[in-house]
Amino acid sequence: MNIAVFYESLKVMVNGMVGIFAVIIIFYMLITILTKIFPENR
């Protein structure tokens, strides 16, 4: 097993995880901003 290929795959995996977390954080911020702009009136 080539260790350089393993490290390269780890870099790709970390980039994917960072992308997923960035999208989740942006989505969460969008939801909180929209709930502050349009509050639920009951």
Instruction: Give, in order, the Cα–Cα distances in Å from 5 to each of 1, 2, 9, 21, 24.
Output: 8, 6, 6, 25, 29
What count of other Cβ atoms lies within 10 Å of the Cβ of residue 13? 10
pLDDT band at 30 (very low <50, low <70, confident <90, very high): very high
pLDDT band at 9 (very low <50, low <70, confident <90, very high): very high
What are the φ and ψ backbone dihedral angles of 28, each rounded to 5 degrees?
Answer: -65, -45
pTM of the model: 0.68
HSE (side-chain half, CA atoms, 13 Å) at 33: 6
For residue 1, pLDDT over 90 is answered with no
For residue 42, pLDDT over 80 is answered with no
